Structure 1
């Protein structure tokens, strides 16, 4: 830790995320991006040409899991990406494009009430139907995919409320999504609830289906698979949140291969809906069930005597009744690659990531289309991209670039120190792999190491693997690591080893893994008195000493903070070390999880950093509505450098878990009124982070 901090209180912004309606397209139906090649200079035209006609990432997204497998004449599931992008707001227009023979990306921008109630639109092949941000709602009906229909994506929609008042309804077969003999279908990031029959029915030998990152709730017969004796269905079900669903979660009948992983099944006590069972392997189903989390479920896992069900790595909390497994199934990795999250992290990861996203189906965060759209550069270790290192791509961005440049980094390990300089704003660095683990930027510098040119030591900020000094920078779907070996360098003075450094405003860190030991994530400002807001979402941060620190105004939201042992195997450390300037906001951790394989009662939530003995700073950390493991001390705050923490700003609010505690002089808790002024919007002010 080295550096100081800033000034001025933020007003709360209560406005919802603005939805940008996609552009009407060129005659060819392709949304043009980066047509002004002058952005990269005269020598870059050839390098950038591959990206100049690229559609938004959400319009070209392809499925993972069994929906990605090449079979039945269809190589993966990519929906309508080869067709025109159209925006619909009425049932008539939705039917027009969904039932057409040609490919379309159909953006639902608003609420469509189905008439008659229970109407299921008969979707044809080669379609992507996607909600615009969180605004796309289908009410009182859904979609039907008939025999032979293939290559369909249904994504980012809320489909709800065809319920007719009869819980075990035998008269109204009103589903959100029903398939009868379809193949290569991806159902992703939807909110499906309160339907008369199933939320999802995968029937009559439908196959090559992936169901991912959906919220399924308020339903009886939730998710059924099968209903023939042919044993043909291949299906992947991952990162879904089943909440208050009575049965079929899912029920899998005669599926050839059913791979279920990282799902969160939750039966909340004291509600009207009581689970009768969770995952069910029926008939001749071969099921692999791994790294899922079952909370309060009755009969969480059941199987027929004729079915096989292999369990591994699952967590069962407060469950009762049958929990069964048996037989041998199959190896999912022989069909496709995937990366499973640890089961203990699944509730936090799934609750934060499931359901419609504001960044999908929209083109601009401001609600208007940018006059200069993004230019895309590609990085690949194997030479298949425009650049072989991330820094080379950053170097190709012109100084003071007026519009966004997206640097797409293909899977691989990139050993390099990367700096995005202050004069290159509006840069997005995004890993293109299926997982944030697939694309890794790593270096091993420490503060006390001598620089290669002999000009002195790196110092703490200079040790960073990735340094962000430009405003409006976004990092997504990456791992950033500092792998300095502290144990092998005990003679070195200065073991601070930063993985990720920010010294800018409006920095959005989304779906990252940031790994180090001491001083992992440093969030500063460009200069003392400057504003430096950072929003970290859906990410993992790993470390042991002061590993989330600095003077920046930082939000850690819906993320997992993992405590690591020290180099010698001992457990001791501090999560945060804020050096907030007076009248600024410091570090806010909210809706997250703090855990790790360390000893109970061995870690502080934070300590107050006064850099160089600076008496003008007023360090702040607030931890609220976060699950704290038993590793957290019962007195979770500590003095630093002779400054009492009680003279600064440290507080908690409604935390849970074994490491949580009640209010005391050593454990300040916010009142409800105080907490109302310490929310994400209070930290971010007039900035609404939106992926671009």
Structure 2
């Protein structure tokens, strides 16, 4: 039996959670980082209170932060958004670890004048096996040239703004095996139509095996990104699935759309985007996936194996969310 030392809500303990490797764009080398490893190589702590959690995720250096039970984050003066520093793994223990009432901010403070990645950009962060709900802003916000971020096997719901927003020059991100539900504006990729100076040529992101379980829109809504890979996701009862604008390139592959009004759009809001589709299944949808232009095939960028789209309604609900790693 493990011996734990409890100090102000922080338990020092060996790593108990499953170890896995990032895939998709989070595994691609760039910006001086080979792949995404999070807090690997650093110590592990288990946190049970908000002060201990907030202190741990803000520490310098590699650290594995294990969340035990439900932690309610105070709103305070920062609207409940708490900064995560580089080289962190934040992972829930078991199937009951939860962050309630606040969100995670991965990135430096907003600076509109900064148009290239700074040397101190936040990087190498993993978030896994957590329930996040009830934030008054975003549940997870990735910004200001942050890179090598892996968001995997979480349950996200009931935030006031985005569930996972990725913007302002962030790059090389994977969002995988998450369940999104009871949420409106789910996934934003790219800040706004006037932010090309930061976002153009960046925002390379993979979304795979996510369960969009009645969440309304933005799965994702994309601007400027040269290539975004959306594969093997299960879309169920959404107003729209994917939107590509501002010349963003979406490669949409092996997804299953059930009862989605607009599965994929390029004629949306703002300048047109690009979209290529391969091997998707649409059931009880009101429109086809809109296609336009060309997009680089992800097979030329990283290795992956896409499951048959017909298997997605079975394997994704069974495998997405918490307690399944």
TM-score w.r.t. structure 2 length? Answer: 0.86
Residue 323 (structure 1) shift: 2.5
Q: Distance in 1 between matches of 2:160 and 2:218?
A: 14
Partner of 1:157: 130
Paired residue for 2:106, among 137, 141, 145?
Answer: 145
Partner of 2:114: none
How do 1:264-303 and structure 2 match up within 5 A? 264-267=234-237, 275-303=238-266
Paired residue for 1:219, among 183, 204, 207?
Answer: 183
Residue 306 (structure 1) shift: 3.3
Partner of 2:228: 258
Q: Distance in 1 between matches of 2:298 and 2:29?
A: 15
Q: Distance in 2 between matches of 1:21 and 1:221?
A: 42
Q: Distance in 1 between matches of 2:243 and 2:211?
A: 16
**Structure 2: tracts of 5 or more residues without a match:** 6-11, 109-120
> SS where residue 95 of structure 1 aligns?
helix
Question: Are 2:172 and 1:208 equivalent residues in the alignment?
Answer: yes
Residue 161 (structure 1) shift: 1.8
Are the aligned partners of 1:21 and 1:87 in contact in 2 as well (CA < 8 Å)?
no
Residue 30 (structure 1) shift: 9.1
CA 30–245 in structure 1, closer or farther in 2 if over 3 Å, else same? closer
Partner of 2:210: 240
Partner of 2:41: 82
How do 1:514-529 and structure 2 match up within 5 A? none
Once superposed, what is the RMSD of the aligned Cα atoms?
1.9
**Structure 1: tracts of 5 or more residues without a match:** 1-19, 32-54, 163-171, 268-274, 361-692
Moved more, 150-159 or 295-304: 295-304
Q: Distance in 1 between matches of 2:75 and 2:207?
A: 31
Are the aligned partners of 1:62 and 1:79 in contact in 2 as well (CA < 8 Å)?
no
Q: Distance in 2 between matches of 1:328 and 1:348?
A: 31
Residue 56 (structure 1) shift: 5.5
Summarize deviations over 1:8-55 as a string: whole Å, max 9, x none: xxxxxxxxxxxx98967xxxx994xxxxxxxxxxxxxxxxxxxxxxx6
Summarize deviations over 1:434-483 as a string: whole Å, max 9, x none: xxxxxxxxxxxxxxxxxxxxxxxxxxxxxxxxxxxxxxxxxxxxxxxxxx
Summarize deviations over 1:571-592 as a string: whole Å, max 9, x none: xxxxxxxxxxxxxxxxxxxxxx
Question: Are 2:149 and 1:185 equivalent residues in the alignment?
Answer: yes
Moved more, 65-74 or 219-228: 219-228
Q: Distance in 2 between matches of 1:22 and 1:149?
A: 33
More RCO (CA 8 Å, sep 6+)? 2
Are the aligned partners of 1:231 and 1:285 in contact in 2 as well (CA < 8 Å)?
no
Partner of 1:593: none
CA 338–288 in structure 1, closer or farther in 2 if over 3 Å, else same? same
Residue 322 (structure 1) shift: 5.2
Are the aligned partners of 2:260 and 2:285 in contact in 1 as well (CA < 8 Å)?
yes
> SS where residue 296 of structure 1 aligns?
strand
Residue 321 (structure 1) shift: 3.1
Paired residue for 2:138, among 161, 166, 175?
Answer: 175
Q: Distance in 1 between matches of 2:141 and 2:166?
A: 6
Are the aligned partners of 1:190 and 1:214 in contact in 2 as well (CA < 8 Å)?
yes
Q: Distance in 2 between matches of 1:199 and 1:233?
A: 17
Partner of 1:471: none
Partner of 1:381: none
Q: Distance in 2 between matches of 1:143 and 1:254?
A: 24
Partner of 1:475: none
How do 1:81-480 and structure 2 match up within 5 A? 81-116=40-75, 118-147=79-108, 148-162=121-135, 174-181=137-144, 182-227=146-191, 228-229=195-196, 230-267=200-237, 275-304=238-267, 306-321=272-287, 323-357=289-323, 360=325
Q: Distance in 2 between matches of 1:313 and 1:323?
A: 11
Are the aligned partners of 1:293 and 1:315 in contact in 2 as well (CA < 8 Å)?
yes
Q: Distance in 1 between matches of 2:126 and 2:264?
A: 29
Residue 333 (structure 1) shift: 1.7
Q: Distance in 2 between matches of 1:235 and 1:135?
A: 28
Q: Distance in 2 between matches of 1:120 and 1:30?
A: 26
Summarize deviations over 1:199-222 as a string: whole Å, max 9, x none: 000010111000000001111111
Residue 351 (structure 1) shift: 0.5
Summarize deviations over 1:411-448 as a string: whole Å, max 9, x none: xxxxxxxxxxxxxxxxxxxxxxxxxxxxxxxxxxxxxx
Are the aligned partners of 2:75 and 2:81 in contact in 1 as well (CA < 8 Å)?
no
Are the aligned partners of 1:21 and 1:132 in contact in 2 as well (CA < 8 Å)?
no
Partner of 2:31: 72
Q: Distance in 1 between matches of 2:94 and 2:13?
A: 20
> SS where residue 45 of structure 2 aligns?
strand
Residue 326 (structure 1) shift: 1.8
Q: Distance in 1 between matches of 2:272 and 2:179?
A: 30
Larger radius of gyration: 1
Q: Distance in 2 between matches of 1:87 and 1:206?
A: 29
Q: Distance in 2 between matches of 1:303 and 1:342?
A: 25
Residue 309 (structure 1) shift: 0.7
Partner of 2:113: none
TM-score w.r.t. structure 1 length? Answer: 0.41
- How many residue pairs end up in the alignment? 295
> SS where residue 323 of structure 1 aligns?
coil
